Amino acid sequence: MLYDGKKAYIGKTYHIDYIVDRIGGGDAYSAGIIYGLLTGQDLQDTVEFATAAGCLKHSIHGDFNLSSFDEIQALVVSGGSGRIQR
């Protein structure tokens, strides 16, 4: 969720079948928010990107996100079930 003082923007809910590591998910989400704000993205698009980045991070061991921009964006635009599988 992202709140701009007037409106709350809520990202899509994803179902993750198997969480490899929870550490770093919040950092990945925050990085997605920072990316969206710095590049002037729409706030809804920003929260969607951040949510996808955080979800993908849960599929990676360690406290850093190895997902590429293209992987994160593919999850955002997939329009599918939102399931994460690696």
With residues binned 3-state (H G I as helix, E B as strand, rest as coil), the percentages for the chain, rounded to 5, are 45, 5, 50
Question: Is residue 80 over pLDDT 50?
Answer: no
User: Considering the chain, what is the average pLDDT of its residues?
Assistant: 90
Rg, the chain, Cα only? 12
Q: How confident is the model at residue 18 (pLDDT cuts 50, 70, 90)?
A: confident
CA atoms within 13 A on the CB side of 48: 14
Question: Is residue 70 over pLDDT 60?
Answer: yes
3 state SS of 81: coil
Cα-Cα end-to-end distance for the chain: 25
Q: Which two tokens stand for residue 67?
A: 């997902």
Q: What percent of the chain has pLDDT over 70?
A: 91
Q: Is the pTM of this model over 0.85?
A: yes
